[in-house]
Amino acid sequence: MRIAVAGTGYVGLITGICLAEMGHHVVCTDVREEKIQLLKTGRSPIFEPGLEPMLKHNMSNGRLDFTTNPRTAYKNAEIIFIAVGTPENEDGTANLDYIHAAAYTIGVSIENDVIVCTKSTVPVGTNEKIKEIIQSVKPPPLQAIVVSNPEFLREGTGIIDFFNGDRIVIGTESREAASIMEKMYLPLKIPIMKTDTRSAEMIKYASNAFLATKISFINEIAAICEKVGANIEEVAYGIGKDKRIGPHFLQTGIGYGGSCFPKDTKALVQIAGNVKHKFELLESVIKVNYRQQALAVLKAKEILGSLKDKRVALLGLAFKPDTDDVREAASLTIAKALKDEGAMVIAYDPAAIANARKVLGDTIEYTMDIQLAIENTDAAIIATEWDQIKHFPLEIYAEKMKSPIIIDGRNCYSLQDLSSHPITYISIGRPSIKPYKVKS
Ligand SMILES: NC(=O)c1ccc[n+]([C@@H]2O[C@H](COP(=O)([O-])OP(=O)(O)OC[C@H]3O[C@@H](n4cnc5c(N)ncnc54)[C@H](O)[C@@H]3O)[C@@H](O)[C@H]2O)c1
Ligand SMILES: O=c1ccn([C@@H]2O[C@H](COP(=O)(O)OP(=O)(O)O[C@H]3O[C@H](CO)[C@@H](O)[C@H](O)[C@H]3O)[C@@H](O)[C@H]2O)c(=O)[nH]1
């Protein structure tokens, strides 16, 4: 099929490249000239495992192209995917400016009947608005059928998720469009659910809200475990064995970040509020997450006293491993809090330094070498469970740090491994090892 994708961010680019890999002819378009220029040279503007080789492969076989010109992208397209951003407004609602602009450009550009398929996460009713905007510039008889097709991929495993998703949701009132979309996805052999547009839009928010709820729930249990002397790892394993609960998304830590859970939970609270429903459960999930992101610095203060002039290594900047994305990452909250306390911060990350620097500037130091990061520091805070951090030898902490104190916000190390090292180790929801008070 001939497919166009609007937006070459995490979702648009992964979707476009994977559709080309399936054998479709794909043209991706973006308003950002520098992204398109980079992509045209076969390089990916984002760090996503496996993406660049697949990009190069499909460009060289002629199935994948990039342009800043929407008319070129949409010419003769049978399906246009919208994958532009829907960031949060100050009041927590979803900002739909990019969606509306993309819809308008589609309306202006199209010259044949087309399916417009929304991958972006959008509040209920948005697809109706998209249709309205397109029709306002391109009225019938030209037909643009709008379909909601929410995306469930995770950053860092985007390609795996595209080809092995748990389900594909197709939301439309048009049987014809649903069957074309179904045919397109059929080779993936992923269960397809066809539903109405509004339910499809809601499925996306409800999925993310539920997953965020699991995380905040386990973080609450972890806080109680610390006080009653239980071990959260044992507890999460024990409850996850119950098939009705399941083992996923029960990893405790310093909270969820990323471009989706924080904004989508807030947007759903607003969506509920708009219809006079106070979503109290989700409001608490969000509150718990703020508390969780503040935890690492509180624990550092408990053990070190004042953080003024203390040198602290911040290990991990990305909101999760295998991505360069720092949007809403706990590391940013931690870095700012440490600076507010007067600490000197040196951060390590294998992929996300450039993006973190855009937010934090030169308020902290950066390095891509863990040994350099921890050298002569008073404490190390682990914010992301990169493999490079999880497998970093404990004896080197003891050797290189001024005082070997690790505050592990992602429970990277097993307590047994710690017991043979002279390290003070504070993690989340588990007993602390050799904690001692350092006089400030
Ligand atoms: N990041 C994820 O893992 C993920 C997963 C599922 C769903 N989503 C949702 O998908 C959407 C996109 O997320 P993302 O992380 O890929 O965003 P992103 O910010 O990484 O990328 C969005 C891209 O759209 C481009 N753009 C903006 N306006 C445009 C226009 N009019 N025409 C063409 N391009 C335009 C931007 O320049 C940018 O490159 C959001 O609604 C998000 O909630 C994201
Ligand atoms: O048990 C867990 C699982 C995750 N996290 C944190 O939760 C955040 C999000 O992680 P993850 O869901 O793996 O990454 P995302 O790429 O943000 O993916 C989520 O958000 C996407 C955008 O909507 C959806 O498409 C995905 O289905 C959904 O998992 C990260 O900060 C993780 O550290 C935890 O703290 N504990």
Digit-coded pLDDT (tens) for 101-133: 999 999 999 999 999 999 999 999 999 999 999
> Mean pLDDT throughout 80-97?
97
d(CA 14, CA 162): 8
Q: Is 140 exposed, middle or buried (0-12, 13-18, 19+ CB in 10 A)?
A: exposed
- Annotated binding residues for substrate, written as ranges, equal 152-155, 204, 249-253, 257, 320
**Candidates 2.60.40.10, 3.40.50.720, 3.30.70.260, 3.10.450.40; correct CATH number of 2-195?**
3.40.50.720
Spatial contact of 373 and 393, defined as CB atoms under 8 Å apart:
no
Q: Is the CB of 209 under 6 A from ligand 2?
A: no
Spatial contact of 141 and 165, defined as CB atoms under 8 Å apart:
no
Spatial contact of 63 and 2, defined as CB atoms under 8 Å apart:
no
Digit-coded pLDDT (tens) for 310-332: 999 999 999 999 999 999 999 99
ipTM of the complex: 0.98
pLDDT at position 437:
56
**In 30-186, which residue ranges form alpha helices assigned H by DSSP?**
33-40, 51-60, 70-74, 97-109, 126-137, 158-164, 175-185
pLDDT band at 420 (very low <50, low <70, confident <90, very high): confident
Over 90: is that where the pLDDT of 192 sits?
Answer: yes
Q: Is 227 exposed, middle or buried (0-12, 13-18, 19+ CB in 10 A)?
A: exposed
- Please give the structure tokens belonging to residue 386: 């990169």
Whose alpha carbon is nearest atom 3 of ligand 2?
249
d(CA 321, CA 15): 20
412: annotated active-site residue:
no
Amino acid at position 245, single letter: I
Count of beta carbons in the 10 Å neighbourhood of residue 218: 23
Q: Please list every protein residue whose CB sits less than 6 Å from any atom of ligand 1.
A: 6-12, 29-32, 35, 83-86, 98, 101-102, 105, 119-121, 151, 153, 155, 259-260
> Mean pLDDT throughout 378-391?
98
Whose alpha carbon is nearest atom 20 of ligand 1?
9
d(CA 62, CA 26): 9
How far is Cα of residue 180 from the mean position of the Cα atoms in its chain? Answer: 29
Digit-coded pLDDT (tens) for 27-61: 999 999 999 999 999 999 999 999 999 999 999 99
Please give the number of the atom of ligand 2 that sits closest to the Cα of 157.
16
Q: What is the dihedral of CA 213, 219, 221, 223, to 10 degrees?
A: -150
pLDDT cut 70: percent of the chain above it: 99
Q: Is the CB of 260 under 6 A from ligand 2?
A: yes
pLDDT band at 434 (very low <50, low <70, confident <90, very high): confident
> Mean pLDDT throughout 267-276?
97
Residue to mutate (ligand 1; options 15, 17, 30; most atoms within 8 A of CB) = 30
Q: Is 100 exposed, middle or buried (0-12, 13-18, 19+ CB in 10 A)?
A: middle
Q: Which ligand is nearest to the CA of 39?
A: 1
- Please give the structure tokens belonging to residue 391: 């497998």
- In which element (H, E) is residue 195 found? strand 192-195
Over 70: is that where the pLDDT of 436 sits?
Answer: no
- Annotated binding residues, written as ranges, equal 30, 35, 86, 121, 152-155, 204, 249-253, 257, 263, 320, 327
Per-residue burial over 338-362, b if 16 or more Cβ lie within 10 Å, else e, is bbebebbbbbbbbbbbebbbeebee
pLDDT at position 314:
98
| CB-facing half-sphere around the CA of 299: CA atoms within 13 A | 30
- Please give the structure tokens belonging to residue 347: 């951060």
CA angle in degrees (0–180, nearest 5) for 400-402-406: 80
Over 90: is that where the pLDDT of 435 sits?
Answer: no
pLDDT at position 438:
58
Strand order through the sheet with 79-82 = 64-67, 25-29, 2-6, 79-82, 114-118, 144-148, 168-171, 192-195
Over 90: is that where the pLDDT of 201 sits?
Answer: yes
pLDDT band at 419 (very low <50, low <70, confident <90, very high): confident
Spatial contact of 303 and 378, defined as CB atoms under 8 Å apart:
no
Over 80: is that where the pLDDT of 144 sits?
Answer: yes
| CB-facing half-sphere around the CA of 343: CA atoms within 13 A | 28
> Mean pLDDT throughout 324-350?
98
- Across the chain, mean pLDDT equals 96
